[in-house]
C-alpha cells in the first residue's frame, strides 16, 4: 500500500539531498568578502518591486542620491534603476526572478530593493518561489541583519538571521505524498551555521558589544536546531570577551516585551524562520514593521530591503503615497555603512531617530490624515542637512537619560 507514492517521495528527497550536498561543497570554498573601497566604481541597483515598493524605493533613492551626491558626480558611484521585478512579470515568466532581471542584478555590487509579492497558491496564484528567497540563495546572501533601536526604552538590538537554510530554503520543494500527507523540509549545515554565528560574534567584537544570544528550539527540534546551538557553543569559545547565552524561540518572544529584561539583549543570532518571526516582533516595539530595514549580505553581493511586504491593499485603496518609507531608508543607511560610507550612514540614522522617535514634527498614518512619503522624506533630508545634527541628537539622548 502506497508503495508508488513512497518511492516517488524517496526520489524527490534524494534530489534535494544531492543539491544540498553540492551547495555545501560550494560553501567550503571560503570566498573572501569584497572590498568596496578598492573598486573604481560602485554600482547600486535600485529595484522598486511591486505594491508600495516603487513608491518607497523612490524616496530611499532620493536620500541616497543626496548623501552620495559628490561621489555620484565624480563617477565613483552609480545609482542604476532595475525594472521588471513585479508580480505580473514574474507570473508571466513563471520565474521567481525573470532571467533578464537576474542578469541586471548580477551587474550591481549592492541592491536596494523594494518589497515584492510572494504568489499565494491558496489565492489562485501559481507556485512561484519568493523572489527574496530565490535572490538570497542565488547570490548566497547568508546573513540577514536587522537592527532595532528604541532609545527611550534603552533598546539597541542587532539581529543576525541565517538567510539561506532552514524551512525557507526548500519552501517551494515540499511534497504532497498523498492527498492526506504533506511534508516540508528543513535543512541545516555546519558551514551555514558557522558563517552566520561567526558574523554575529565579529559584529559584537567590532562594535564593542558584550553579549551574543543564540535563539533556537533545540529542545524539540533536536537535529537541525541542535546543530545550530552546538556550533554556536563551539564558536563562542573563540570569543572569551563576549558572553554567549541561549534561549528558546517561544520564551524569547516573551522576553523581548519584558521591560525588566529586554534592554539586556544586544546581538541575537538564530535560524531563518525564527529570525523572520522575532524581528517582526522587535520591529513592532520600535514602531511597526514599516520602520525596520534589513541587510542581506554575502561575500560578493549584498541586498538591502524593508522587512515588510508589498501591501497591495494600500495600492488598491489609493494610499500608496502615504506608505512609510522609513524601512527602506533605514536599509539605505545599512547599505551606506556596508560599502564604506560610515559617516553618511551615521548621519542618516541620527536623522531617522530624530524624525521618528524624538521630534516627530511630520507624522505618517498610512492615510490621508497623515503625511505623504515624499513629505516625510523631505523632513528626513532637512534633518540630515542640519550642521549641528550630532549635537541635537546628543541633546535628545541626554534629555531621555535625565527623565
Query: 536620500: which residue's cell?
Result: 63
Write down the pLDDT at residue 307: 82
pLDDT of residue 124: 66
Coil/strand/helix, residue 87: helix
Question: Which of 230, 234, 222, 229 lies closest to 247, judged by CA?
Answer: 229
- Distance CA(159)–CA(166), nearest Å, equals 16
Going by pLDDT thresholds of 50, 70 and 90, the confidence category of residue 27 is: confident
Burial code (b: 16+ CB inside 10 Å, e: under 16) for 164-187 equals: bbbbbbbbbeebeeeeeeeeebbb
Q: pTM (2 decimals)?
A: 0.85
Tell me the per-residue pLDDT of 275-325, one tens digit each, with 9 for 90 and over: 999 999 999 998 887 778 899 999 899 999 988 889 999 999 999 999 999
Residue 166 in 3-state DSSP?
Answer: strand
The band of 123, judged by pLDDT with boundaries at 50, 70 and 90, is low
Cα 366 to Cα 250: distance, rounded to the nearest angstrom: 31
pLDDT in tens, 206-261: 899 999 999 999 999 999 999 999 999 999 999 999 999 999 999 999 999 999 99
Give the CA distances from residue 35 to residues 340, 387, 402, in Å, rounded to whole numbers and listed in that order: 9, 31, 42
Q: Look at residue 121 and tell me whether its pLDDT is greater than 70.
A: no
Report the pLDDT averaged over residues 120-149.
84
Residues paired with 155 in a beta bridge: 150
Over the stretch 169-200, which tens digit does the pLDDT of each residue have?
787 788 899 999 999 999 999 999 999 999 99
**Could you report the per-residue pLDDT of 86-117, keeping only the tens digit for each?**
989 999 999 999 999 999 999 999 999 999 98
Q: What domains lie within the chain, and their CATH numbers?
A: 33-141+298-403 (3.40.718.10)
Phi and psi at 154, nearest 5°, equal 60, 40
The per-residue DSSP string of 306-366 comes to ESS---HHHHHTT-GGGS--HHHHHHHHHHHHHTT-HHHHHHHHHHHHIIIII---S---S
Amino acid at each position: 500500500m502506497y508503495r508508488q507514492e513512497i518511492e516517488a517521495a524517496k526520489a524527490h528527497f534524494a534530489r534535494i539531498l544531492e543539491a544540498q550536498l553540492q551547495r555545501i561543497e560550494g560553501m567550503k570554498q571560503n570566498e573572501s568578502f569584497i572590498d568596496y573601497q578598492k573598486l573604481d566604481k560602485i554600482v547600486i541597483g535600485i529595484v522598486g518591486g511591486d505594491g508600495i515598493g516603487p513608491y518607497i524605493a523612490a524616496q530611499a533613492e532620493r536620500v541616497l542620491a543626496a548623501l552620495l551626491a559628490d561621489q555620484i558626480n565624480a563617477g565613483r558611484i552609480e545609482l542604476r534603476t532595475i525594472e521588471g521585478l513585479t508580480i505580473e512579470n514574474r507570473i508571466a515568466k513563471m520565474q521567481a526572478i525573470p532571467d533578464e532581471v537576474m542578469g541586471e542584478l548580477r551587474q550591481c555590487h549592492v541592491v536596494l530593493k523594494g518589497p515584492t509579492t510572494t504568489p499565494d497558491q491558496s489565492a489562485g496564484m501559481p507556485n512561484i518561489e519568493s523572489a527574496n528567497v530565490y535572490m538570497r540563495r542565488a547570490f548566497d546572501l547568508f546573513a540577514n541583519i536587522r537592527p532595532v533601536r528604541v532609545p527611550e526604552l534603552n533598546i539597541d538590538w542587532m539581529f543576525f538571521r541565517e538567510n539561506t537554510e532552514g524551512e525557507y530554503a526548500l519552501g517551494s520543494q515540499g511534497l504532497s505524498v498523498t492527498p492526506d500527507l504533506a511534508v516540508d523540509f528543513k535543512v541545516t549545515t555546519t558551514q551555514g551555521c558557522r558563517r552566520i554565528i561567526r558574523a554575529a560574534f565579529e559584529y559584537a567584537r567590532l562594535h564593542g558589544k558584550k553579549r551574543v544570544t543564540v535563539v533556537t528550539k533545540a529542545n524539540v527540534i533536536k537535529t537541525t536546531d541542535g546543530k545550530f546551538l552546538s556550533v554556536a557553543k563551539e564558536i563562542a569559545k573563540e570569543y572569551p570577551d563576549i558572553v554567549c547565552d541561549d534561549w528558546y524561540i517561544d520564551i524569547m518572544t516573551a522576553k523581548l516585551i519584558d521591560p525588566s529584561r529586554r534592554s539586556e539583549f544586544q546581538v541575537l543570532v538564530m535560524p531563518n524562520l525564527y529570525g523572520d518571526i522575532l524581528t517582526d516582533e522587535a520591529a513592532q516595539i520600535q514602531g511597526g514593521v514599516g520602520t525596520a530595514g534589513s541587510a542581506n549580505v554575502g561575500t560578493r553581493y549584498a541586498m538591502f530591503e524593508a522587512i515588510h511586504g508589498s501591501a497591495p491593499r494600500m495600492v488598491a485603496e489609493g494610499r500608496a503615497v502615504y506608505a512609510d518609507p522609513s524601512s527602506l531608508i533605514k536599509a539605505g543607511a545599512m547599505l551606506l555603512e556596508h560599502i564604506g560610507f560610515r559617516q553618511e550612514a551615521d548621519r542618516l540614522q541620527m536623522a531617522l531617530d530624530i524624525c521618528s522617535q524624538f521630534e516627530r514634527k511630520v507624522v505618517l498614518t498610512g492615510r490621508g490624515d497623515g503625511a505623504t512619503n515624499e513629505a516625510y522624506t523631505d523632513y528626513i533630508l532637512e534633518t540630515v542637512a542640519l550642521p549641528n545634527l550630532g549635537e541635537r541628537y546628543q541633546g535628545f539622548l541626554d534629555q531621555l537619560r535625565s527623565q
